[in-house]
Structure 1
Amino acid sequence: MHWLFSPFEVSFVRQALWGGILVSLICALAGTWVVLRGLAFLGDAMAHGMLPGVALASALGGDVLLGAALSAGAMAAGVTALGASSSPSGSSRLSHDTSVGILFAGMLALGVIVVSHSRSFAVDLTGFLFGDVLAVRQRDLLWLATALLVATAVAALGHRAFVALAFDPRVAHTLGLRPRIAHAVLLGLVTLAVVASFHVVGTLLVFALLVAPPAAAALWARRIPTIMVGASLIGVGATAAGLFLSWHLGTAAGATIAAVAVCAFFVSAGATLTARPAGLLGRLRTGAASEMERPS
């Protein structure tokens, strides 16, 4: 059985394991709402919208994490501003996907322009896209732990408003929950998850942890807290299994973790072909929201 635990006897693999666990927990909190509200495209756009800030910070010799945070914050602010013309009923002259798509294209183009003027950015760009989970340091773990505490507080305090938004924005407005503010806070939660995670697994791979585990859990779980717990367990399991497979197969650690998470979703989705789960995701699609989850 030594081969089973041998990877985790190495210090940098243990650091990577803890980093991946923290990332999985953060992504489970934010990703649950991304899945339930159908914001997967937004999550992808947020991840790539950090490129201008990362490129500028790298070119100027500044803090890459700060640059990513500022760029992602600008992206979130832009999405909120373009959606400000929405009526309380949720209608808008400009669709949400269109707003996100325009900002996504603009931020990505700006990032590529900055990169094209930087001759020494190739290695940093690779790290931006794919991350390096095996290079997680102690201060990274402290940052991720802090981000997890903040994400937990936001998810707990905003739960009632987020639930109303997921089921019917008109209900949120009727109950005085200020859906526009709640949506902006939710964007902030997604931004936090993406910024906190990209330097561990990269922007192209954080999307997998943000969407796949919650989607897999949402097919079966009936309540939102249960989805979050299930997504956390799937994400943690994908982290451990991905590091194990990466060690023995010689594959990229971050990509392997993401691949395992995606495989977990397909296994969950495949199981629904033989069973009939009453998951919350299916109930949302049919418009039959659980009374236990409706805000009172």
Structure 2
Amino acid sequence: MNELLELFSFAFFRNALLAALLSSIIAGIIGSYIVARRNVFISSGITHASFGGMGIAYYLGFPPFLGAGIFAVLSALGIEWSSSKAGIREDSSIAILWSLGMAIGILFVFLTPGYTPNLMGFLFGDILTVKVTDLIWLAGTAMLCIILISLYYQAIVTVAFDADFAKVSGLPVQTIKYISAALVSIAIVLSIKVMGIILVLSLFTIPAAAANLYAKNLNKVMIGAVLISVVGSLSGLLIAYFLDLPSGATIIFTLTVLFVVLKMIKLIR
């Protein structure tokens, strides 16, 4: 118990706990929206496409996550535009941007003169290196998600599930789609620092899928997903610290175990 209390005296661990809490709020809300729309593939495409922005930013000497954020937002908007205006199937657009982003990232990292950066932190995340500036961005995004869902819940749900009805109702369908896509991409990029490109999609899908076992209303699914994500993330972080394991992988493993347990309880009932 004393050892656990001593952990809170370390700034890096306090930052990690706050990052886990804030990313859980973001992933619970955004992930529920993604899972409900059955659009997990687009999130994976945005995640991998953002690596292209990281590579370009490294080559030009800019912060890598700035490049990832810009590239992710542009990719998300590009997918929405190409599927609605250019007549390209959404899955085709995602596949093209996914592979293009990864290819660009690898090429620019290779072309960067001098020291080649360690890509493991980007691929698998490192929550223990989260800084105060990262927490500010996470907190701002979490607050933005809560505000938008609170104020425009009905409009967002209507556009997500019945765009034709939303258009007839006079809602700005395309604008809402673009804003939703941009917010999803920003949320994913900010969570990469915590989970990494490889594992971040699981953070957005597992809690939402688990909550969806017990709740069908999207609002309740979001609340349940946030709670499950918080429990899994904080538990995984503590387990990773005491067993000296990679934090991102341990958090995802813990969330998966929670999902299995909840699924078994559902089957028994």
TM-score by length of 1: 0.83
How far residue 213 of structure 1 moved from its aligned partner, in angstroms, is 0.7
RMSD: 2.0
Instruction: Tell me which residue corresponds to 2:115.
Output: 120
Task: Give the letter for the 1:121 counterpart.
Answer: T
Q: Give the distance between the partners of 1:265 and 1:183, measured in 2 at CA.
A: 30
**How do 1:1-296 and structure 2 match up within 5 A?**
1-2=1-2, 7-85=7-85, 93-118=87-112, 120-123=115-118, 125-275=119-269
Deviations 1:174-220 (CA, angstroms, capped at 9, x unpaired): 22223332222211121121122112221222211111111111121
What displacement does 1:233 show? Answer: 0.9
Does the residue aligned with 1:44 lie in a helix, a strand or coil?
A: helix
Deviation >3 Å, runs of 4+: 1-11
Q: Give, in angstroms, the shift of residue 7 of structure 1.
A: 4.4
Q: How far did 1:58 drift?
A: 1.6
Give the aligned length. 268
Contact 1:35 1:214 in 2 (8 A): yes
Asked whether the equivalents of residues 52 and 100 of structure 2 are also in contact (C-alpha less than 8 Å), the reply is no
In structure 2, do the counterparts of structure 1 residues 143 and 85 end up closer, same or farther at CA, with 3 Å as the change threshold?
closer
Which runs of 5 or more residues in structure 2 are unaligned?
none
Match of 1:283 in 2: none
Per the alignment, do residues 3 and 128 of structure 1 end up closer, same or farther by CA in structure 2, a change over 3 Å counting?
same
Residues in 1 aligned to 2:115 and 2:261: alpha-carbon distance in whole angstroms: 42
- Aligned residues of 2:55 and 2:104 also touching (Cα < 8 A): no
CA distance in 2, matches of 1:7, 1:239: 16
SS in 2 for 1:272: helix
Equivalent residue of 1:219, what SS? coil
Distance in 2 between the 1:216 and 1:53 partners? 32
Cα deviation for residue 231 of structure 1 reads 0.9
What amino acid sits opposite 1:65 in the alignment? F
CA distance in 2, matches of 1:251, 1:83: 42
Aligned letter for 1:151? C
**Residues 131 and 201 of structure 1 are in contact (CA less than 8 Å); yes or no, is this contact kept in structure 2?**
yes
Higher helix residue share = 2
Q: How far off is 1:3 after superposition?
A: 5.7
Question: What is the CA–CA distance in structure 1 between the aligned matches of 2:264 and 2:162, rounded to whole Å?
Answer: 29
**Which whole-Å CA distance do the structure 2 matches of 1:48 and 1:153 have between them?**
28
1:96-140 CA-to-partner distances (Å, cap 9, x unmatched) read 2222112212222222221222353341x2111112101122222
Q: How far does residue 14 in structure 1 lie from its aligned partner after superposition?
A: 2.0
Identity across matched positions, percent? 32
Could you tell me which amino acid in structure 2 is paired with residue 53 of structure 1?
G
TM-score by length of 2: 0.91
